[in-house]
Structure 1
Amino acid sequence: MDAVKQSAREWVERHREEISGWHRTIWELAEPAWREYESAAWYVHKLRSFGFEVEEGSGGMPTAFHATWTSPAGAEGDGARILAYAEYDAVPGNCQAATPVRGPREGLSPHAAGHTDPHSALGISTLAGVLAAQHAMIEHSVPGTIVYTGEPAEKVQGSKIVHGLKGYYDNLDAILSFHPFYMLPLCNTVRWDTHCGAYYSRVYTFECDEPQTWGLADPGSPIPASHSAARAPGADAALFTMYSLTKTTQDSMLPAAGGWSLSEAILTAGQATADNLPASLSQIQYSWRVPDVESAEAVLAVLDANAEAAARTAHCTVTGRWVARNRPGLANHAMAEVTWANVAEAGAPVLDDDALDVGRQLQQQLGHEPTEQPFLAETTQTIAPWDAEALLRRHLPPEQRNWTSDDYVEMTWYAPTARFYIARPTLAPVEGSAGHPPWVMNALGGIPATIDPTIVTAATVIAGTTLDLFRSPETLEKAAAEHRDRKAAAGDIPALLPTDFVAPTQLRWPEYVTTARGREWWIPTTHEETR
C-alpha cells in the first residue's frame, strides 16, 4: 500500500471508536423513508464541521442533501469529481435493541422502525471513507472534488431518481456505491456483469367522493341519506378489491422465470372509524422488481387495469402516483477492477473474540448449541467479481442481463459506477432448522462488536478506491469510454420520469410523532405492548 492510501487507512484506525459512536447514533434514530429528519441533520452538521459545502433539502427532498469538498491542492474544477453517498432510512416493524436478546429499543414498540440491512452502517462507512480520503488528499496534495449525497427513502427507492432528474449526478467522473451484504455469492466483492434490474413503485388512491349517487334512497325515509339506506361500497372496498384482484392475477403477469417480485403496502384505509358512512379515501402502494423495463411495463399494465376495475366496482375514482421508476443497471469493468483491487487489499472483515461471543449468545437464544465459528463462513472470505458472477449466473437464464433490484442502478446511467459489497455478520444456518428470525440480523447490525468490522473495512475500500481514481486519469478515461459503450448497447434508455417529477414526500409514510402523550411510533401502543 502506498503512502497516500496508508494515510487514509491510519485515519480510519485512529477514529475507529468515534466512527463506532457515529454509527450507533444513526442506528438508534432509526427513522423510516422520507422521515429521516434527525439523521439527515446529523450528516449535514458533521459534513460542515469537516469543511464540506452542503445544500440541505436537495432536489426538493427535505431529508436529502448534496455536499462537496474540493482539495486545496487544485483550484475549483481541477481534478476529477467522484461521488459516494449515505443512506439512513430504517424499516417499520423492525425495532430491535443492540443486544443478543430479542426486544425493542428502550421505550419503543416492536412495531417501530429499525435498521435491517443496515443502512446506518452503509452511511457511516461511506462517510468515514470520504473523510479518510479527504485527510489523505490534504496531507499529500491530491487534487479533486469529493461529492457526497444524502439519499433518503432507499427502501422505496425514492431519492436517487430525483437527484438524477434534477442534475445532481451531472458532470461526475465516477460513482462508488456500497452496501453491507450477506447474500451469496456477493460477499466481499464487486458486481461484474449482472447488475440489478428495474424497479417500479406506484401508489393508487381510491376516493369515494360522491357516495350519494350510489343508489336510490328509501322513498319512505324522511331523510334521503339516512343511515339505514344502502350506502356506496366506498374506498375500503376498492382497496381490498384491488388487493385481492392483484393477488389473483399476479401469477399471470410475467413468466415464472428469472426472478421477479411484487409487494404491496397499505398507506391509508378509510377514516379509522367504524361509523356506517362509506370510507372516502384509501391508498395502496405496489412495488415490483423485475429484470428489465419491458417486464416492468407489463406488470404496470395489469395493475392499472386492476385499479380501474376496483374503482368501478366500489363506486370510486382512482389516481396513480409514482414513487419510483428506475432503469436496469449498467456494468463497468474498469470501475469494478480498481474497486476490487481495494477490496482484496482490505480483506474481509475480521470478527474478534467479542464478536464470536455475541454469535454464540445468539445461538443459545435460538436454542442451538454454540459453535466455535457461529458465523457464515463466506462472510469471512473475499471472492473475485468474475468468480461471483459465474456462481450467480448458474441461477439465471442465459439471455437475462439483470437480476433483482436496487436504486443505485439509476446512478449507473449518469456516470461510471462500481457497486461493491462488504459482508455484514450473519449467523450460519443450522442444518435441519428454519432460517433465523429477522431480529437476529437486526441486532447484529447494531452491536458494535459485530458491525464495526464491516464499517471499518468498507471505509478503507471507499477511501482507497477514491484515492486511486483521483490519481489515475487514465482509469477514469477508460471507465468513461466503457460507460458510453454500455449505454449505447443498452439502448440509451432515457429517464423514466419527467424532469419536473416531485418526490412523494407528502404521502402518509410511517413516522415517529410527538403528541400530548410524548414521542411515539405512528401507531400508538399500550404500555403492555411496548413492554
Structure 2
Amino acid sequence: MTADMSSESGAELPGTAKATARAWVDEHMRDLSRWHQHIWELAEPAWREHESASWYVQRLRAEGFDVEEGSGGMPTAFCAEWSNGPGPTLLTYAEYDAVPGNSQEATTRRRPREGLGPDAPGHTDPHSVLGIATLAGLLATQHAMIERDIPGRLRYTGEPAEKMHGSKVVHGLRGYYDGVDAIISFHPFYMLPLCNTARWDTQCGAYYSKVYEFVCDEPQTWQLGADPNSPIPASHSAARAPGANIALMQMHSASRTMHDAMLPSVGGWSLSDAILASGQATADNLPAQVARIQYSWRTPDVPMAEHVLAVLDRNAEHAAAMAHCRLESTWVARSRPGLTNHTMAQVLYDNLAEVGAPTYGPEAIGAAQDIQRELGIDPMTQPFLAECEQLTSPQEAEAALREQMPAWQRNWTSDDYVEMTHYAPTVRFYVARPALRPAPGRGAYPPWVMNALGGIPAAIDPTIEVTGKTVAGTFIDLLCDEDARARAAAEFAERSETEGMEPLLPADFQPPTHLPWPEYVRDREGNRRWLGTGAHG
C-alpha cells in the first residue's frame, strides 16, 4: 500500500492497524470462546459437517461477507468474500471435521460427551480451534481495514474433511484459490519442533487416499452347473460366490503382507486402512454384495506414493477376481508436496513474535493439575509443556526437523494445505495448543487428555487469541507492504517453475461425498444421534 491510500503515513499505518485488530480480538474473546465451544461440541466427522458449516455461513453473512454455500460441489464447504475496495486479495480458511472414536467431554477425566458413547467423534487436533482462530484473524482484519481505510479483499473458505485431504484439492481445481495474492495456513501445534513457529523449507509431502469397492452383483453365475430347476436361484444347498467380504479380506491380508516390501523403511512414510460400513449385517443366506476398504498413505514424494498405488491396485484386481466380484475404485485425495515461501514465513513469524507465545493462567493450570491427579501423577507447578509458552524461529525449527530426516528427503508428514501452495504464496504456521509436560517414567499421556484440553476454555482460548492476532497482523502487513507482496510473488513464481507440478487429479474430479461416511442423524424428536452408538446414544 502506498502512503496516499490513507490519511496516515505508510510507516505509521501498519502499526496502528495492527493495534486496532488486536484490540478487536481482546474485546471479542468471550464471543470467540463461545463460538469455539459450539463447534467443538458439534464434533461432526468428515464430509458430514452440516451444522458446523451452516454456523460459519450464517456468522460470515452476519459480518457482511458474501458467502457461497456448497462450494466446489461439496455440501459442507463454503467460500466467503468481503471487499473494501480494489487491492490485494488475501485468503485463510476454516476446518471443522472431527474424528470418530474420540468423543470426550471438556472435563479433567476420561468421559464421552453426554448422551454419546466413546465411538462418537471428537475434535482431536482440534480443528474446532483451527477454524475459530482464523475466523478471529479474519474479522479482526476486516475491522482494522474499515477503521483505518485499508483497501483490499478477504477470502475465507470452509474446508471439510481435512482428515481425508478432502476439500482443498477440489477448491483448487474449481478455481477458488485463483487470483489470490497470499494464503495463510494455520494448524494447532501437534508435534515438536513445530510449535509457535512457521515452516521454512520442509513442507508436508504427498498424500493419496483411495476406496476400493468389491461388488458381487451376479452371485448366481459362480456355478453355472447348479440345478436350473431350483425355485431359488442361489439355493442354500448350492455352491455360491464367495462374495465381497472375501474379496475385502483377501485385499487386506495381501496388502498387510506386502506392506514391508512396498517401500524401504525410511522417509517417514505410512499406510493406513479403514473398512467402510455397508449395512449388510442381517443378510444371513446371501453372499455379501458390496464391501469397501479405504487405504490412505503418506510419502515424502510422488514417486513413492505411485509405487504404493501400483501395489494396491494390483492386489485389489486379483482379490476381486478370486471372489467373483467386480472392482470399482474412488479417489478420496491425491495431493502434491508443498512449495515453501520464505518471504511469507518471515512476515508471519515476525508478527507471531510481536504477539508472543500463549500463556496459561491459574484456571488452565488447575485443570491440567486435576488431569495429572486423575492419572495418578503428582501435579506439577508448571504442568504444561515448556515449548507451548516459547517461540521457535522457522530456521531453528527447520534445523531440528532436518536432524531427524535422511539427507535426500525434502518433505515430511502430510496435510492438504500443500495444494494451496501451488496456487499462491503460502505460509504454514503453528501455535501451541495445551499439552502436558511428561511425567518421569510414565511415558505418553493417553489421547483423551489433549482432546479434553482442547475443549476446556481456559486452556484452549490462548490459542485462539495468539492465532487471531498473528493472522490479522500478517494480513495487515501484506495489505500495506507492496514490496513484501512482490517478493513473495517472485519467490512463488520461481519455486513453481523449478519445483511445481500439475494437479494429480483431473479437473472434473468429483469429491466422494456419496460414500457411506459415518455421521450424526436427527431422530423424530430432533435429538442428535450418532450412528453406531448402540445403547449409549
Question: TM-score higher than 0.5 here?
Answer: yes
User: Are 1:270 and 1:282, in contact at CA under 8 Å, matched by a contact in 2?
Assistant: no
1:367 corresponds to: 376
2:448 aligned residue (421, 439, 445)? 439
Residue 118 (structure 1) aligned with residue 131 (structure 2): no
Q: 1:183 to 1:227 in 2, by over 3 A?
A: same
1:61-108 CA distances to partner (integer Å, 9 max, x unpaired)? 11111111111xx3xxx2100000000011111111111111111111
Residue 219 of structure 1: CA displacement? Answer: 4.8
> 2:398 is matched with which residue: 363, 385, 389?
389
Deviations 1:474-520 (A, max 9, x none): 11110111011111221x31111111111111110100012458531
The one-letter code of the counterpart of 1:379 is C
The residue number in structure 2 matching 1:84 is 92
Structure 1 alignment gaps of length 5 or more: none
Matches within 5 A, 1:280-319: 280-319=289-328
| Residues 249-328 of structure 1 aligned to structure 2 (within 5 Å) | 249-269=258-278, 271-328=280-337
1:23 partner SS: helix
Q: Is the 8 A contact 2:166 2:333 kept in 1?
A: yes
Give yes or no for the alignment of 1:50 onto 2:63.
yes
Q: Which residue of 2 aligns with 1:138?
A: 146
SS in 2 for 1:147: strand
Give 1:109 shift: 1.4
Q: Residues 515, 238 of structure 1: CA spacing in aligned structure 2 closer, same or farther, 3 A cutoff?
A: farther
SS in 2 for 1:117: coil
The answer for the alignment partner of 2:359 in structure 1 is 350
Distance (whole Å) between structure 2 residues aligned to residue 255 and residue 98 of structure 1: 41
Q: Equivalent residue for 1:19? A: 32
Which of 448, 457, 463 is 1:448 aligned to? 457
Letter in 2 for 1:272: A
Alignment partner, residue 190 of structure 2? 182
User: Which residue of 1 is the match for residue 8 of structure 2?
Assistant: none
Matched, 1:225 2:238: no
- Aligned-partner Cα distance in 2 for 1:320–1:95: 31
State the shift of 1:455 in Å: 0.7
User: In the TM superposition, what is the alpha-carbon distance from 1:270 to its structure 2 partner?
Assistant: 6.2
Alpha-carbon separation, structure 2, partners of 1:217 and 1:515? 48
Where 1:129 maps in the other structure, the secondary structure is helix
Correspondence for 1:28 among 24, 28, 41: 41
Deviates more, 1:225-234 or 1:478-487: 225-234
Q: Does 1:64 align with 2:77?
A: yes
Letter in 2 for 1:251: D
Change (3 A) 1:270 1:304: farther
Instruction: Provide the secondary structure at the position in 2 that maps to 1:111.
Output: coil
1:206 equivalent in alignment to 2:194: no
Partner of 1:191: 199
Are residues 505 and 269 of structure 1, via their aligned partners in 2, closer, same or farther at CA, if it must alter by over 3 Å?
closer
Higher mean displacement: 209-218 or 494-503: 209-218
* Letter in structure 1 aligned against 2:218: E
User: How well do the aligned residues superpose, as a CA RMSD in angstroms?
Assistant: 1.4
User: In the alignment, what sits opposite 2:249?
Assistant: 240
Instruction: Name the SS of the counterpart of 1:481 in structure 2.
Output: helix
Match of 1:338 in 2: 347
Query: Aligned to 2:502, what secondary structure does the other structure show?
Result: coil
The corresponding residue for 2:517 is 509
Aligned residue for 1:150? 158
> SS state of the match for residue 2, structure 1?
helix
In structure 1, give the amino acid aligned to 2:223. G
Find the aligned partners of 1:160 and 1:218 in 2 and give their Cα distance.
Answer: 51
Q: Say if 2:186 and 2:428, in contact at 8 Å, map to a contact too.
A: yes
Q: How many angstroms apart in 1 are the aligned matches of 2:327 and 2:173?
A: 27
Structure 2: runs of 5 or more not aligned: 1-13
Residue 411 of structure 2: aligned partner: 402
Q: Contact 1:182–1:425 (CA<8 Å) still a contact in 2?
A: no
Size of the aligned set, in residue pairs, is 522
8 Å CA contact 1:217, 1:229 repeated in 2: no
Q: Amino acid of the residue matched to residue 26 of structure 2?
A: E
TM normalised by structure 2 equals: 0.95
Whether the aligned pair in 2 keeps the contact of 1:268 and 1:281 (CA below 8 Å) is: no
The residue type equivalent to 2:108 in the other structure is P
Q: Tell me the equivalent position of 1:484.
A: 493
In the TM superposition, residue 221 of structure 1 has moved relative to its aligned partner by 7.9
Partner SS, residue 206 of structure 1: strand
Q: What is the aligned partner in structure 2 of residue 94 from structure 1? A: 102
- Describe the shift of the 1:48–1:269 C-alpha distance in structure 2 as closer, same or farther (beyond 3 A): closer
